[in-house]
Amino acid sequence: MMKFPIRLLSRRNAILILLSTALCFFVGGRLIGRYLGSDGQFCLVNRENDTDSYAVIEKTIDARSHTLLVADTPQKWQRGLMDVRGTDDICGYDGMIFTFPLATPQTFWNKNTLVDLDIYWMKGEMKVGQNQLPAITKSGLTTISSPMAVDRVVEIIR
């Protein structure tokens, strides 16, 4: 049986590890969301004024699997994918799913949305509608509404 030596960390090394770990979470005094990127590497999503961490889920829509950030608070709903220039800005994920506590009619707009989006309106697991929301630079300010009360909305970056 092979034995591996156990090496204790010096006090200096332990402090350096703690400081390095703290820097992974705090940069410039604000919390940075930390995600495992789609390539298996850690990815820091550093969006200005964004201090929330996001859960990540897999969702299949129309026989296509998507990896999505979960927007489940009013702050995340308001921020959405504003100022995102592509999937690289969100660690290679496909988009975002907005989850609401109750099914209600929803209206989305493209304020500060820099990419074209496919929007899927959902009630539970069922897709009840689909729209395209163009980048604001292509169409000016545009709003779209769900065809009925929904409790989930998926935005996929095109």
- Per-residue pLDDT tens over the stretch 119-133: 999 999 999 999 999
Q: Does 118 score more than 90 pLDDT?
A: yes
Whether the full predicted model's pTM is greater than 0.85, yes or no, is no
How high is the pLDDT of residue 12?
54
Q: What is the pLDDT of residues 50-79, one digit of tens each?
A: 545 888 999 999 999 999 999 999 999 999
73: its two tokens:
């608070």
Q: Is residue 114 part of a domain?
A: yes
Containing structural domain, residue 135: 53-157
How high is the pLDDT of residue 59?
95
Which among 121, 133, 13, 43 has a CA at the least distance from the CA of 81?
A: 133
Q: Is residue 46 part of a domain?
A: no
Calculated CA dihedral for residues 58, 110, 132, 102, nearest 10 degrees: 50
Q: Is residue 86 part of a domain?
A: yes
End-to-end C-alpha distance for the chain, whole angstroms: 55
Q: Is residue 137 part of a domain?
A: yes
Rounded CA-CA distance 89/83 in Å is 9
Q: Is residue 120 part of a domain?
A: yes
Average pLDDT on 80-93 reads 91
How high is the pLDDT of residue 35?
45
What is the percent of the chain with per-residue pLDDT over 70, rounded to a whole number? Answer: 67
The total number of structural domains in the chain stands at: 1
Q: Is residue 146 part of a domain?
A: yes
Of 12-21, 26-35, 108-117, the poorest mean pLDDT is in 26-35
How high is the pLDDT of residue 47?
52
**What residues have CB less than 8 Å from 64, skipping those under 6 apart?**
none
Cα 71 to chain centroid, rounded: 7
How high is the pLDDT of residue 11?
56
Split at pLDDT 50, 70, 90, the class of 2 is very low
How high is the pLDDT of residue 53?
80
